[in-house]
Amino acid sequence: MLGYWKRPEATAQALHDGVYHSGDLGVQEPDGTLYIRGRRNELILRGGANVYPAEVERVLAAHPAVAECAVFGIPDARLGERVVATVVLAAGAAASVEELQAACRAQLARYKVPERIAFVDALPRNAMSKVIKRALRPLFEADA
């Protein structure tokens, strides 16, 4: 990699000591299998514990009423961040916040369960079809 186009600060942050630092977070098992858990800039730090949004998103996405979802952290004065989620329901499906939280509680540690869930018609995406999570933050700022 030579660098990011017209972004010298981002290039300097990603390339140092001749090594590219992708920002991906993962775990390598003893058998050599590598599991990507998420990205460093998306990691939610809640009360000293790490929450990987991708882990929570996998649980939510497995619910039959969920078409797609996005999980991220919002600032919290006491805990650092709180876990929240936005959900797009599948066509003709219905689910309540409580139902989705219960599904999460059944598979995740309590601190990983989204405290708030907002239902949206669609997730905002960029030209590469990645979800623009910062565009979803205002959904949770009114009651923060």
Q: CATH code at 70?
A: 3.30.300.30
Domain, as residue range, for 128: 44-141
pLDDT attached to residue 21: 78
Task: For residue 37, tell me if it sits in a domain.
Answer: no
pLDDT attached to residue 98: 98
Task: For residue 9, tell me if it sits in a domain.
Answer: no
Task: For residue 27, tell me if it sits in a domain.
Answer: no
Distance CA 49, CA 128 (A): 31
Each residue's pLDDT tens digit, 53-83: 999 999 999 999 999 999 999 999 999 999 9
Q: Is 34 exposed, middle or buried (0-12, 13-18, 19+ CB in 10 A)?
A: exposed
| Count of structural domains within the chain | 1
Task: For residue 1, tell me if it sits in a domain.
Answer: no
Per-residue pLDDT tens listing for the chain (144 residues): 788 899 998 888 888 887 887 767 678 899 999 877 656 667 899 999 999 999 999 999 999 999 999 999 999 999 999 999 999 999 999 999 999 999 999 999 999 999 999 999 999 999 989 899 999 999 998 655
Task: For residue 5, tell me if it sits in a domain.
Answer: no
Task: For residue 38, tell me if it sits in a domain.
Answer: no
Distance CA 23, CA 4 (A): 14
pLDDT attached to residue 24: 73
Task: For residue 93, tell me if it sits in a domain.
Answer: yes
Detail the DSSP E strand segments found in 17-131: 19-20, 24-28, 34-39, 44-46, 49-51, 66-76, 80-89, 116-119
Task: For residue 110, tell me if it sits in a domain.
Answer: yes
